[in-house]
Amino acid sequence: MADLIITGGRVIDPARGFDETADVLISEGRVKSIETRPGGLPRETTMSSDTKTIDAEGCIVAPGLLDIHVHFREPSTTHEETIATGSASALNGGFTTVCCMPNTTPPLDSAEMIQLIRHKSNEAKGARVFPVGCATIGRQGNYPAPIEAMTKAGAIGFTDDGDPVDDSGVLAKVFTLLKKANRVFMQHCQDPSLTKGASMNAGPIATKLGLTGWPRVAEEQMLERDILLNQSIGARYHAQHLSSGGSVEILRRGRQANQPVSGEVSPHHLLLTEEACDGYDTQAKMNPPLRSKRDIDQLKEAVAQGVITVLATDHAPHPAVAKNTDFESAAFGIVGVECALPLYIKALIDDNVLDWPELLRLMTINPAQIAGLDIMGLGSLAEGGPADITIIDPDLEWTIDINSFVSKGLNCPFDGWNVKGRSIATIVEGEVRHSRSQERLRT
């Protein structure tokens, strides 16, 4: 007997190449069966008076979307975001799983801190939140964090995100420890010696505005160094928020040499250029910075060719005051999870870079594998697996409005954009945790 049936949707599971109109039957938090409908209606036998249904006709039924790069600010700066508001915000954007970064105060650099996040996540009942632990103690870049203990506590990966692990000797130790723990290292590629005081892409606009430029090579040379350093160690390595077209070739060479390296992009690096900073618009201040049209083209090509295999958000909420200041003092970043899906549709599907199954692959199974969450069945939609499902209306037209965000952060340069495509229901463990379309839901 099913608790919930999602009827008549286009069910896409990129993990096993499934793409058919089908009904998805859910029981006790798991996918009971996926039944294709050669003759029309679902079998009556599977229905009972207790069964809820969601009419998914015209919609895409996908594995729950997964974002391996968010900042939920807990502990400490909880006026910016919390696990509760962040994970609710993720549900509103169609994400069932997110991985939160450890650059909090104090940072997530111990087993106890990892356990704290797991606990907060279970309490929140939003999207699942898995912590990424600090690679080094205090994010200071000097000594590796207790990686084995943190792994046992539930850290799914390691990073000093917000800062790179710059010191080669320290990084080699981190790689070695991660190789044994079989966890991924996520690098924030930024050579700090090349970005002192920098606030936007190095180029004519930074020159004109009198701002210190942030060159592409700051990202590229760290990526190149890391891949070389990891060559003999072979830890799983993931480059975060790539911004430079030049990084693509470096990543491509690493992957062609069969090194376990991957990379992600964020929506803003595919849709905005450094020109958005003109007039000192602090909403366009990002780390790494917005680049040029050429970089966008190269990043899109990398996505199309399978060099970049993960679409993330780098969701980074800030209070208004952090952006309402001069450009160099303003905070970096953008809130991402609530508008990432339509922005990726705009950047990649509307521009014929990817089709729907490919787009979903980069937002489900690919990030799940990097975070090692595929072992739990996350990132796919298979019989017997966890019923984490996102129902997407690909044609729903709407306007991004920061005031409607569930996130505490309002910092988003996409405010006011007219977009297409949105999640209409987000289901975690068989439970409809977010629904936008009451008329489709029958209980």
User: Catalytic residues, which ones?
Assistant: 314
Closest to 181 (Cα-Cα) out of 109, 113, 236, 136: 236
Question: CB-wise, 325 or 418, nearer to other proteins?
Answer: 325
Task: List the x/- string, 266-305, binding to other proteins by CB under 8 A.
Answer: -------------xx-------------------------
Residue that the structure tokens 């796919």 belong to: 380
Contact with other proteins (CB under 8 A): which of 209, 229, 271, 410?
Answer: 209
Count of Cβ atoms closer than 10 Å to residue 200 Cβ: 25
Classify residue 69 by its DSSP letter. E
- One-letter amino acid of 299: L
Query: Within 309-328, which residues bind other proteins (CB under 8 A)?
Result: 321, 324-328
> Smallest distance from the beta carbon of 283 to other proteins, in angstroms?
13
Residue 105 has φ and ψ, to the nearest 5°, of: -125, 110
Q: Is 194 an interacting residue with respect to other proteins (CB under 8 A)?
A: no
Instruction: Determine the Cα–Cα distance for residues 24 and 85; give it in Å rounded to an integer.
Output: 29
Q: Site mask, other proteins, residues 24-63, x = CB under 8 A?
A: ----------------------------------------
203 binds other proteins (CB under 8 A): yes
Name the nearest CA neighbour of 22 among 40, 5, 39, 10.
Answer: 10
Between residues 17 and 196, which has the closer beta carbon with respect to other proteins? 196
How open is the CA angle 397-403-409, to the nearest 5 degrees?
115
Q: CB 323 → other proteins: shortest distance, Å?
A: 10
333 binds other proteins (CB under 8 A): no
Closer CB to other proteins, 28 or 326, in the complex: 326
User: Would you list the DSSP string of 283-344?
Assistant: GG--SSPP--HHHHHHHHHHHHTTSS-EE---B----HHHHSS-TTTSPP-B--TTTHHHHH
> Is 217 a residue that touches other proteins (CB under 8 A)?
no
Cα–Cα distance, 416 to 399 (Å, whole number): 6
> Which CB, 206 or 311, lies closer to other proteins?
206
Binding of residue 192 to other proteins (CB under 8 A): no
Tokens linked to 89 = 């915000």
Is residue 113 close enough to count as binding other proteins by CB under 8 A?
Answer: no
3-state secondary structure of 198: coil
Tell me which residues touch other proteins (CB under 8 A): 202-204, 206-211, 279-280, 321, 324-330
